[in-house]
Amino acid sequence: MQNEEIIKKINQLLIDDIEIDEDQISPGADLKKDLGIDSLDFVDLFVIVENNFGFKMKAEEMSDIKKLEDFYAYVIRRVNPN
């Protein structure tokens, strides 16, 4: 899967499933401060990623992910490990 496809899919999932306003989505957006993603949303996000990208996320892996661009990079590394 191409990086651009992954980013588009993540953005659409955030809009549809987490109910983030499309205008708020930008690579530099802080997941908590700018997008308002709370602990319950993170649980939903874990399930959404597993269902759509085929891998399980672990809470400890999210500790360094603060911005949306960090999340993009994390998913891209997991989907395309080479």
CATH of the domain at 30: 1.10.1200.10
Contact 20, 35 (CB under 8 A): yes
Instruction: Please tell me which residue, 15 or 82, carries the higher pLDDT value.
Output: 15
Domain that holds residue 64: 3-79
**Which one-letter amino acid corresponds to residue 63?**
S
For residue 26, give both structure tokens.
């930008």
Distance CA 6, CA 63 (A): 21
Distance CA 50, CA 54 (A): 5
Distance CA 55, CA 57 (A): 7
- pTM of this prediction exceeds 0.75: yes
Number of structural domains the chain divides into: 1
Instruction: Please tell me which residue, 58 or 37, carries the higher pLDDT value.
Output: 37
